[in-house]
Structure formats: C-alpha cells, structure tokens
Structure 1
Amino acid sequence: MSDAAQNPGARMYEEFVAVHAILRRGTRLVADAFHGLAAGRRTDTATLVEATRWLLAFTHAHHTAEDDLFWPVLNGLYPDSAAGLKNLSDDHVVLDRELHALETAVDDLDRAHAAGAPTDGPARLGAEVARRVQDVLSGHLTAEEAIVQELFPGVPGDDIARLREAFIQGSPRFGLHFMFGLLEDPEPARGRDLLTENFPPQLRDAGPQLLGRYEDSVRALGLRQGTESGSPVTSVTSDPS
C-alpha cells in the first residue's frame, strides 16, 4: 500500500500539487492566448475573457483557502515552520498585485471588444501582465511545494477533512470545463483521480461533455495543448467560430 493510501496527509499533498498543476497550466494557457491575440492570431475574445476571469477567481479562491485555513492548521501543528509559512502568505500580496493588473487588462479588453474598438492595446498589455503572472506564480508554487511537502503527511485525519473542504467548497464552479480539461491535460497532475472523485456525482458523470467544452474553448483561443510535459501551448490555424 502506498504512503498516500496509508496516510491521508500524504494524499492531501497530492491533491495540493494537482491544484498547482491546474494553476501552472491555466496561467500558461491564458498568457499564450493573450500573446497570440497581440500578435494578430485569430482568437475568440469572449472565450479569452471567460478563461482569464475563471483563472483569476480560481487563483484567489486557492489563496484564500491557504491564508484562512491551510496555514493556520499547519502553524498549529508545526510552529517551527511559522516563518516559512508567513513568507508564503506574504508572497500572496505580491502575486495579488499582478493578478489585479491582469484583471484590469482583461476588463479593458472586454470593454474594447464590446464597443467594437481596436483591441491591440489591451491585448499587448494583457500579454505582458499575463506572462508576469505566470512567472511570479510559478516561482511561488515551487517554493510553496518545497516548504509544505514535509508537513502535510503528518496532518491528522480530522484536520485533513478541514483542509479538503477548501478544495471542495472554496473553488469556483463556473469554470468546471476548464477544471476538467486541465486535469486531463497531457502534463501529469498527481491527485487528479481523487480531485475528480470529489466533484458531485452529476459533475463526474458530465466529465466527457465538460472535456468537450474545454477542447472547444482551447480551439476558440487559437491554441492546442502541447503533447509533452512542460511544452508550451502552441497556435493552430483552425477557425475558432
């Protein structure tokens, strides 16, 4: 039997890393879509706005869960790790500034698109900010995983139930097709099976339809997923309409 099966804390860490895989791939997808739009590639702007707003909401929900639930639980169990956990919480302040800039950029893009105005300027700004978000978030997640990897396995079962609640109740539901698609992405995501199991039965049953919607969204963004772990999302020439 694996450590994850024997120890709920170890399994919880796998779920934690799976969420990080979603964040990493989601920020890359949004950044590549903004860059494609700025470069004149055919991109469905409404889909880009939807995907970006989903990513912003999902990231904020994850940070709120960590600051309000994860770190207090781990601080109580491991007071010697308090300094490292505070650094992670402080990182959220820096990252939130970049997320706010991305929110402003996507709002500008949405307004320009709705008014039939040129979107070149908002697209270029969005591309710059989205890449910054990708870089800052990637560094933060790497540091975070190194700190908490040794902590989660010792978290008691009752506290695991509290931590898991943040994943089940704290994540926004309006982007479920992106969630399913990113979980099924070629980039391995440890814990994807258990995360999927945590969705209500009707959503698990709708998995194929949600994956289909995700694939449609990626095509609308003028993108396709890379076939190797860590490879960038690259452009395609299919009509997004």
Structure 2
Amino acid sequence: MPSRTDLKADCAHCFGLCCVALTFSRSADFAIDKSAGEACPNLDDDFRCTIHTKLRAKGFPGCTVYDCFGAGQEISRRAGASWREQDGREMFAALPILRQLHELLWYLTEALELNEDVQPAIDRVEAVSRTPDLATVDVMAERAVVNELLLATSRHVRGKQPKKKERRGADLIGARLRGADLAKANLRGAYLIGADLRQADLRQADLIGADLRDADLRGADLTGALFLTQAQVNAARGDHATRLPKAVTRPAHWSAAGA
C-alpha cells in the first residue's frame, strides 16, 4: 500500500513532466501560452524550474497550486530515460491519468484511518495504477466506486448535521463566513473562491473538491478536515494561526499577513 509520502510530488526525481505535458493559457495563473508537449521556457536542462522561488512574482501562480500527487516521479521512474532521450508522448499522456489515480489513493489512505472497509478499494486502485498502458484505464469508473466509499466515510465521521451545514456544491464565492461554525459541514465541491473564512471553524468538514482559490483562511481551524489536498491549501490564503491537518504543509507564500 502506498504511503502518503509516495503520493506527494518529488520534483527532484521527476523529468519536469508537468512543465512539458500540460497546456498553459495566458491568464492570471500563467504569464504565457504553452502547448501540451512543449517545454516551458523556465525549465532548465536539469529539469528544474529556474524561477521556482519566484513563480508568483513572475506571473505563474498556477504552477504553485498544481500537485501531481507523486505521478510525475513515478512515471519518470518507470520510463527510465527522459523525454529528451526518447519519444515522451506516452509519458505526457500518462501523467493526467496516473495523477487522478494517485489522487484517489490520497483520499483512500486518509479514509483507511477512519474506515477499514476501504482497503479493497486501495488494493484495486493501486493495481490499476500499475497498468502498463494507462490510456486504457477508465478513470471515471474508478472514481465512481471510490466516491461512494468516501461519501460513506464522510457520513460516518461527520454524523447527522443540521441542514444549514449541508452545502455540497454550494455557490459561496466571496461569501462572508468569518468566524462561521462550519465544523463537520458538507462542503464537497463547494465554490469558496475568495470567501472570507477568517477564524472559521472547519474542523472535520468535508472539503473534497472544494474550490478554495483566494479563500481567506487566516486563523481558521481545519483540524481533521476531510480529504483536503495540498493544492487546495496552496490556492488559498492563510497565516501562522491557520490550523491544518497533519498531511498538508503550510505553504511558503503564506505569511503573517495572509498573503
């Protein structure tokens, strides 16, 4: 069974796949247009980003919130040689597929601590992730099965909650939720873009798929929040007082001012 360490990006052991395989569209997230299969001009010969510590300042905040869930280094390991030494199209095509499977494993390994019934699903997804030709994998079918298990785990942990805390898929863009009691709330897939969540209680809230871009989490308590990913945290704003689950790391761009 993979550990959560295996499901975290390890750029030192990757051929910079996300910097080549993915498409960039000039926007607030990316300073340039880049086609899939084209190497980002900021990618060095050693597969390292030359502006890694200045991505936000240089107009690439989108790069800081991308998380391959360890798919990049795994594909690089399997390939053995980089896309500069061989036709990389198979590697590029495999990245988004394995990333999704690793994301499912991320959720399932968390769920296993709460619900031992998910072990067979972990075994299955792990086996599927080793499929030689990942292009043949029906990711949507795998997600559907896993989602039912995650829903059951969420209901078990959160228990019955008042209707006001059932906000699955809710449009909460820019919502004023400072100090709100959202403990054990169902916020699956909720749109919390730019929401004011300062000092909010989000303990054991289900945040799978919630859009936290520019959400203000300064002083918020996300202890035990369910299915929270590093990418979600990276996309939000927070500070030293924001309390996070152990599996995610406080982003380097957060500051006492909540930048």
The alignment's TM-score, normalised by the length of structure 1, stands at 0.30
The alignment's TM-score, normalised by the length of structure 2, stands at 0.29
If asked which structure has higher relative contact order (CA below 8 Å, sep 6+), I would say: 1
Give the structure with the higher percent helix: 1
